[in-house]
Amino acid sequence: MTKINIDGKELDVPAEYTLLQACEEAGAEVPRFCYHERLSIAGNCRMCLVEVKGGPPKPTASCAMAVRDLRPGPNGEAPVVLTNSPMARKARAGVMEFLLINHPLDCPICDQGGECDLQDQAMAYGVDSSRYHENKRAVEDKYLGPLVKTSMNRCIHCTRCVRFTAEVAGTGDMGAIGRGEDMEITTYLETAMGSELQGNVADLCPVGALLPKPQSFRARPWELAKTQSIDVMDALGSNIRVDSRGREVIRILPRVNDAVNEEWISDKTRQIVDGLKTQRLDRPYLRKNGRLTPVSWNEAFAAIAAKVKAASPGKIGAIAGDLASVEDMFALQSLMQALGSPNLDCRQDGSRLDPKYGRASYLFNATVAGIDEADSLLIVGSNPRKEAPVLNARIRKRWLRGDFAVGLIGQQADLTYSYKYMGAGPDSLDPQTCKPPEGSKKPMLILGAGALARPDGAAVLARALEVAKAAGAITPEWNGFCVLHTAASRVGGLDLGFVPGEGGLDATAMAKGGVDVLFNLGADEIDIAPGAFVIYQGTHGDRGAHRADVILPGAAYVEKSGTYVNTEGRVQMADRASFPPGDAREDWAVLRALSDVLGKRLPFDTLNALRAALYKAHPHFAALDLIQKGSLGDIPAGSPDKTAFVNAIDDFYLTNPIARASAVMAECSALAKGRVAQAAE
């Protein structure tokens, strides 16, 4: 720790801190454009100039000067930093004047207006008139893909976007060509960016040069109601903020949570917005003479009641989809229990994970933040870049720090970091050959959902645990055995025990015709054979709705308050940002109303009552934002067959019904497919 005096306040800070970090510690605000705490230091905007005594006798860029670089005074006084002295203020005003020389005065038509760093700081440091009488610089706008719109006249060359794509995203899409006044930010010959995290560059841009394309000219930031929510596009449970105007969701932005998503979100999380408005189920439907016909809630319920009463409890089943909240699944589980059916499953992909193997057998035990501590990694049957791009960025961050051996068993892919390829199938998963490097204290093993969703999934799980144990990944202090789920609802469902009871059928058996009446709670990734009477409760007219005999319209994840448990086992609650369209209702309420008609009234009338019952049955759901560590049960050892692992996700952009309804995601998917075809040539 080193002493430093900031604006007359003396404090102790670590010597490796930059002056800017020290100033923040002291509570002094320093303006900045190019500096970003999660990116490397560029030091090129010069906005963070401060006056120092004990350093160079000129204004100093505080982001690029370390505390240890300053000398103490003649009598050992701490070095002095002045953030608000006349010299610092004048220097910043000068920098601002230079920045504004070429910046257009188009704030009234700029989407960044109202949340623009340059606008805000010009209020503090700008002069009221210009001394510049030459022509302003004009720059051609660039095409960067379907997600980011450019207005390059506004660019101030902070290079945050270039550093983000090079460092965090790892694709190196963007760069600065030319030099001096002719410097331009672009991609290689204006090709679309290839990262799944590219939307973040629009957040990083401190001015209005890079903007989210789908949201252009849609809303002003001050018109939007901001709701804290949780993302369900993957199992990471990224913390998001949903901005809505009236009933319409305008955009989705990340929230900072260092334990989960830092401050990034994937493009699917961000640009799913238009999918929330198209293909929506907004009223109940009933299949009459082979055609789905709009009906009233009562008629739909009556049709269900007739079928349910005619079926024996063993012939009724329920499958929960990937986007269901814990509350919805709890309501459906309670209903199935009341009906006396053991046929329940939340694993529509056929995953062999089971709560009876212990909670630690299906969690990302090391936690996302634990990736930073790990010192070697084996990925089995997974492509984290597609299954959880933000988590993949975290792995890359760890890899960039060095001394991090990554091995991969499964399908080869560009993960944005280098790895040793160790085989394609379970036969490569051998405790002898999969040893981490000598001296690895915290090895980690990521087991993908694809490796478990196969008939020998339980044997793969047992083998992977064996490998992890042999590698020393499971000790009392460190558990490096990590299951990477792809479905947001999965851990919540397994925690609830939403799996077949004694003698019950699993999702695959139910879909193949094992039941006469099937409740389908938003499971769209499973083919249901003809025959059964299917009640589809969901949000979008997707595969599940096409197969349905009754459709009960539900609420999408931004339209209800719900609990989600992410792949680490972290319980997080999302608030409601908007309302379901038309007659659609929150799913637990639909199930509650239906239970009344079926004569099995569920014992809760409000969401709070439901939660009280839920917390009574499963107390850990009440511990929001926390992870309850799990234990490991007995897993029968088997021998997995030799079939190669197939990743759970093939097309990152089209993994769920909301994404498939989104035109933006369809465009991204087509572009990504084109890139793959081009690379194969």
Instruction: Estimate to the nearest angstrom the gap between the alpha carbon of 392 and the chain centroid.
Output: 11
User: Per 3-state DSSP, what percentage of the chain is helix, strand, and coil (rounded to 5)?
Assistant: 35, 20, 45
| CB of residue 189 to other proteins, shortest distance in Å | 7
DSSP letter string over 167-230? III-S--EEEES-GGG-EEEEGGGPPP--TTTTHHHHH-SSSSEEEGGGTTS--GGG-EEEEEE
Question: In the sheet where 80-82 sits, what is the strand order?
Answer: 9-13, 2-6, 80-82, 49-53, 60-61
| CB of residue 162 to other proteins, shortest distance in Å | 9
| CB of residue 180 to other proteins, shortest distance in Å | 6
Indicate the residue among 165 and 539 with the shorter CB distance to other proteins: 165
| CB of residue 421 to other proteins, shortest distance in Å | 17
Indicate the residue among 136 and 601 with the shorter CB distance to other proteins: 136
Indicate the residue among 165 and 325 with the shorter CB distance to other proteins: 165
Indicate the residue among 200 and 261 with the shorter CB distance to other proteins: 200
| CB of residue 271 to other proteins, shortest distance in Å | 23
Residue 29 DSSP code: -
Indicate the residue among 330 and 399 with the shorter CB distance to other proteins: 399
Taking the C-alpha atoms of residue 5 and residue 52, their distance in angstroms, rounded to an integer, is 10
| CB of residue 413 to other proteins, shortest distance in Å | 17
Residue 262 near residue 394, CB atoms below 8 Å: yes
Q: Could you tell me which of 298, 491, 269, 278 has the C-alpha nearest to residue 390? A: 269
| CB-facing half-sphere around the CA of 510: CA atoms within 13 A | 32
| CB of residue 208 to other proteins, shortest distance in Å | 22
| CB of residue 174 to other proteins, shortest distance in Å | 7
Indicate the residue among 174 and 661 with the shorter CB distance to other proteins: 174
Taking the C-alpha atoms of residue 157 and residue 139, their distance in angstroms, rounded to an integer, is 12
Indicate the residue among 174 and 335 with the shorter CB distance to other proteins: 174
Q: Could you tell me which of 234, 650, 236, 256 has the C-alpha nearest to residue 482? A: 236
Q: Are strands 420-423 and 405-409 parallel, antiparallel or unpaired?
A: parallel
Instruction: Please name the amino acid found at residue 445.
Output: L
Taking the C-alpha atoms of residue 48 and residue 111, their distance in angstroms, rounded to an integer, is 25
Indicate the residue among 187 and 229 with the shorter CB distance to other proteins: 187
- Residues in touch with other proteins (CB under 8 A): 166, 171-182, 184, 186-189
Q: Give the contacts of 5 (CB within 8 A, at least 6 positions apart).
A: 77, 78, 79, 80, 81
Q: Give the contacts of 452 (CB within 8 A, at least 6 positions apart).
A: 351, 352, 353, 381, 460, 461, 483
Instruction: Please name the amino acid found at residue 93.
Output: A
Lookup: tokens for 600? 């099995």
Indicate the residue among 406 and 467 with the shorter CB distance to other proteins: 406
Indicate the residue among 418 and 432 with the shorter CB distance to other proteins: 418
| CB of residue 178 to other proteins, shortest distance in Å | 5
| CB of residue 417 to other proteins, shortest distance in Å | 13
Longest dimension (CA), the chain: 95
